[in-house]
Amino acid sequence: MNTRLVLKNEARQALSYGWGFLVFREPPESIRFSIQLIKDLGLCGPEPLLITVGDVVSYNFAAYGRSDVAVVDGKTRRSMRIQGVVAANSYNCVNDPGTISQECIEAIKSAIEEAKKDRKSIVYVDGEEDLLSLVALKECPLNESWVIYGHWKGFLCLLPCTEFFKRLANVLLETSFEKE
């Protein structure tokens, strides 16, 4: 059975906040600053896996840094089409707005497993990828990776894959969604 998680209305506001380290700079400076911050903090090793969620973030990290796993839906808030993110492996899934599909959960898990073997991966989402940063954080390799996403207000959110942030992702997934 292919279930999906549907975001509860009362949880929308809580999930609209930025989490982790927030970077208020424009690309390419935001990417360079983020990569240096990740390196300087050393929270997840010297060469952590970088998982980017969102088209602009994924494109900018691919252009000015690196992205090991990119989760994109082919458009931005301004409906502009973004291209230029390439990877050895690609996965496709469907994810309606305000939901998390089992198909996308499996695609992200597979993409991360391939990236752990030094095979860059991209997940193409037919629909909306916004909530999938929670899945990426739940599935990321503990103490070996970062999840990076663009906030709708225009800044970057950098989340180290630590026990705290993995626990936060699990709590949010369990309390902010209903199974359908």
The whole-number average pLDDT for the span 151-176 is: 96
Q: How confident is the model at residue 48 (pLDDT cuts 50, 70, 90)?
A: very high
pLDDT in tens, 51-101: 999 999 999 999 999 999 999 998 776 455 556 566 789 999 999 999 999
Q: What was the pLDDT predicted at 115?
A: 95
* Beta carbons within 10 angstroms of residue 40's beta carbon: 8
Q: What was the pLDDT predicted at 79?
A: 54
Chain mean position to CA 68: 11
Q: What was the pLDDT predicted at 88?
A: 82
> Is the CB of residue 108 less than 8 Å from the CB of residue 139?
yes
Instruction: Between 79 and 158, name the one with better pLDDT.
Output: 158
Q: What was the pLDDT predicted at 84?
A: 59
Could you tell me whether strands 156-160 and 145-150 are parallel, antiparallel, or unpaired per DSSP bridges? antiparallel
**Closest by Cα among 16, 61, 55 to 151:** 16
Partners of residue 49 on adjacent β-strands = 145
pLDDT in tens, 90-133: 999 999 999 999 999 999 999 999 999 999 999 999 999 999 99
Q: What was the pLDDT predicted at 67?
A: 94
Largest CA distance in the chain: 45
Provide the mean pLDDT of the chain.
Answer: 92
Six-digit token string for 120:
């860059």
Q: What was the pLDDT predicted at 112?
A: 98
Please determine, for residue 151, whether its predicted confidence score (pLDDT) is greater than 70.
yes
Domain ranges of the chain: 46-157
